[in-house]
Amino acid sequence: AAWEDARADEAFRAELDELGRTYAGRPTPLTRAERFAPDKRLYLKREDLLHTGAHKLNNALGQAVLARRLGKQRIVAETGAGQHGVATATVCARFGLECVVYMGAEDMRRQRPNVERMGLLGAEVRPVEFGTKTLKEATSEAIRDWITNVETTHYLIGSCVGPAPYPAIVRELQAVIGREARGQVLEAEGRLPEAVIACVGGGSNAIGMFAGFLDDAEVEIVGVEAAGAASLGTGRAGVLHGSRSSVLADADGQIADAHSISAGLDYPGVGPEHAFLRDSGRARYVGTTDEEALDAFRRLTRTEGIIPALEPSHALARVDELDAELVVVCLSGRGDKDLAEVLARRE
């Protein structure tokens, strides 16, 4: 109910628009990538240029303003790649809120720069030392904290997963990506793209991107998962973290381990709306291996002078095989956080 009230309130929307413009750096540009894909008219929606370096800030700002409306003084969040943790720590610093971020110990190892950034911003980063020590366990711990301290605490979830109304809140706050991209490609090309493509872990950058084009039947919608965490490609119906969606699970329904070189895609579930889009046929979902993502990462860096995060590199890896000529990719984040991981896997 609080979310419905907020989204109907013009003052709430005006504050978010103002923060987006003056603090986050919206609108983000649409950049033509001619050398990366010479046979296509490929555009990159540059969420990597948003303050904090990824799309995560769109959602964190909106939920922080919502938390203030609810009178909460403390924020808990989970993070995998660390980008949502950084975005959450950033908005907590901006609004003077206490911030606790749960992060798997394995992800803390992989994403050290973001751990340091969260600390600098005043957040307490709590390592999660059980299970695979990645995003699934971090999410479980954040939910435990939230339900224990619900009077004072807002759970600032980072993706379009979790119990209702979280998937809808996150989609709505990320839909600015697709709205902007739609207007920008029409302005640049005078027509809609034949395809839009985005990486999918929990799926928030993708659902935000897709939201701008779902009603345009002529636009193909493609989501790209990590091959080792392909909840939509190889998963089954199940419940994880409070929503029924497509999950990686064994024959007994126990959640299976996911794997990806990219900490942000290393999650055994996916937002329920993506499962619906797959089942309805409106979107299709494909997989990319670690090696293919690394290759696309290096290729974009060398051909365009843009260092992408490993997450959107999964989407970039599938661009060449699309039939479409005019394509928009959501470049959901920048690659600073991934340099150690990439250098460790030198060609």
Q: Tell me the three-class secondary structure of 289-347, residue by residue.
A: CHHHHHHHHHHHHHHHCCCECHHHHHHHCCCCCCCCCEEEEEECEECHHHHHHHHHCCC
Give yes or no for a contact between 224 and 318, defined as CB atoms under 8 angstroms apart.
yes
Q: What share of the chain is helix, strand, coil (3-state, %, to 5)?
A: 45, 20, 35
Is 56-155 in the same CATH topology as 1-55+165-344? yes
Does the active-site annotation cover 337? Answer: no
Number of other residues whose CB lies within 10 A of the CB of residue 61:
24
* Residue 347 pLDDT exceeds 80: no
Any idea where the domains of the chain sit in the sequence? 1-55+165-344, 56-155
pTM for the full predicted model: 0.97
pLDDT digits (tens, 9 = 90+) for 190-235: 999 999 999 999 999 999 999 999 999 999 999 999 999 999 999 9
56 assigned to active site: yes
Average pLDDT in the chain: 97
Name the catalytic one among 45, 72, 78, 136.
Answer: 78
In the sheet where 283-288 sits, what is the strand order? Answer: 30-32, 41-46, 326-331, 195-199, 220-226, 283-288
Which two three-digit tokens encode residue 180?
A: 């902007």
Say which of 40, 45, 56, 133 is annotated catalytic: 56
pLDDT category at 137 given cuts 50, 70, 90 is very high
CATH of 1-55+165-344, one of 1.10.10.10, 3.40.50.1100, 3.40.50.2300, 1.10.3720.10: 3.40.50.1100
| Topology of the domain comprising 56-155 | Rossmann fold (3.40.50)
User: Could you tell me the two tokens for 128?
Assistant: 């999660």
Is 136 marked active-site? Answer: no
Q: What is the pLDDT of residues 193-202, one digit of tens each?
A: 999 999 999 9
Nearest CA to 224 out of 243, 239, 209 is that of 209
* Residue tagged active-site, from 159, 204, 245, 332: 332
Q: Are strands 74-79 and 41-46 parallel, antiparallel or unpaired?
A: unpaired
Give the whole-angstrom CA distance, residue 207 versus residue 277.
Answer: 10
